[in-house]
Amino acid sequence: MKRVIFDTDIGIDDAMALLFLNYAPNVKLEAICTVSGNASITDVNRNALYVCERFGIDVPVYRGASGPIGPALTTGYPDFVHGRNGLGNLKYPKPKRRSKSIPAAEAMLRMARENPGQLSIVAVGRLTNIAHALNLCPELPDLLKELVVMGGVFMGGDHGGNVSPVAEANMGGDPAAADEVFGSGISTTIVGLDVTQNTIMDESFVAKLREHAGDAGQFIHDITRYYFDFYESINHARRCPIHDSSAVAYLLAPKLYTYKEGPVRVISEGLAMGQTILGEHPERYAIDAWRDRPSCRVCVGVDAKGVRALYQRCLSNAAIA
Ligand code: BDR
Ligand code: CA
């Protein structure tokens, strides 16, 4: 059984990832931590509460960081991708639930201390909350089982960044936090655009969910209208990458991925801000920026068909829930 804290800037693909975790067998979702990114912290927090309420996900929601710990490449929110409220402008009733009063970083730390070596974090937004938790307790890496991050791009294949030629959004939104987390020694796997942009979903994928995944399928259909409109406007096709659910897929079925290992740095200033660079052979270079940093696993290949099938399989549990 994987015990999971989901750290999210809950927009459209994050909501899909949350449902994936919720309906996956062998996952116990322990908490949701929110962080600004796809929309403001107020909006993403409300989105988390709404999705929990609608799907009976009975876990605490902890409100997290409203902004980055350092300079960011991006300012404002990507409403052209996720809509003004982060959920594709879906209209929904005000949630009755409230988030907990302690901040996300403190909650993470408290849970990790109470369950040493037991908890995995799936982080699909900026890494600000985890950086704050590390600043509160540098021993956090010893208390966590693992961290799976959706973020970055390592320039394998044809892929560049999605907020600059070299930067992915979750990294560009708080590069200093990401650099700190990747250097912390938490057992970390990074699922970046190199693989998420090779894991494509289209309208037929959503239609199948709508048919077989009950209200979850309907919800995914509704929130992805806006998302597909955006992708159609740039790619001229109603298809898009499966970003955040790829981190969940790695957690559930790591065999679907191949990876490289090495220290990862995130550029936190200048034109290349947000760029993620894997130093596979740090000993080869005179420069020591990658030396003496812990290794991360960086996904470079994916069985995309396997990921899509896994998602459909897990979501079909929604129809019987
Ligand atoms: C990442 O950025 C956000 O917009 C998505 O939710 C995803 O986590 C993709 O670059
Ligand atoms: Ca996200």
Q: Give the whole-angstrom CA distance, residue 290 versus residue 22.
A: 37
For the CA of 150, the nearest atom of ligand 1: 8
pLDDT at residue 207, as a whole number: 98
Q: Count Cβ atoms below 10 Å from residue 178 Cβ, excluding itself.
A: 33
For the CA of 241, the nearest atom of ligand 1: 9
Which ligand lies nearest the alpha carbon of 82? 1
The active-site residue, picked from 82, 132, 159, 243, is 243
Instruction: Among 9, 47, 126, name the best residue to mutate to test ligand 1's pocket (greatest count of ligand atoms within 8 A of Cβ).
Output: 9
Which ligand lies nearest the alpha carbon of 88? 1
pLDDT at residue 190, as a whole number: 98
Q: Is 221 a catalytic residue?
A: no
Which H, E and C letters describe 42-59, residue by residue?
Answer: HHHHHHHHHHHHHCCCCC
pLDDT at residue 287, as a whole number: 85
Question: Ligand 2 centroid to 152 CA: how many Å?
Answer: 12
Question: What is the tens place of the pLDDT at every residue in 90-104?
Answer: 999 999 999 999 999
pTM given for the model: 0.97
Question: Ligand 1 centroid to 286 CA: how many Å?
Answer: 34
pLDDT at residue 240, as a whole number: 96
Residue at 74: amino acid letter: T
Question: Residues whose CB is under 5 A from ligand 2 (ion)?
Answer: 9, 14, 124-125, 244
Question: Ligand 1 centroid to 51 CA: how many Å?
Answer: 18
Two tokens, residue 40: 């403001």
pLDDT at residue 2, as a whole number: 98
Instruction: Among 124, 198, 200, 245, name the best residue to mutate to test ligand 1's pocket (greatest count of ligand atoms within 8 A of Cβ).
Output: 124
> Cα dihedral sign for 182, 59, 220, 66?
negative
Two tokens, residue 190: 């990074």
Domains with residue ranges and CATH for the chain? 2-320 (3.90.245.10)
pLDDT at residue 288, as a whole number: 86
Q: Is 9 a catalytic residue?
A: yes
Q: Give the whole-angstrom CA distance, residue 265 versus residue 274.
A: 10
Closest CA to 168 of 269, 258, 266: 266
**Residues lower than pLDDT 70 in the chain:** 157
Within 6 Å (CB) of ligand 1, which residues are found?
11, 13-14, 38, 78, 124-125, 150, 162, 168-170, 243-244
Which ligand lies nearest the alpha carbon of 276? 1
Q: What angle do CA 61, 50, 66 make, to 5 degrees?
A: 50
Closest CA to 20 of 199, 248, 321, 210: 248
Question: Ligand 2 centroid to 63 CA: how many Å?
Answer: 15
For the CA of 244, the nearest atom of ligand 1: 8
The active-site residue, picked from 7, 9, 43, 174, is 9
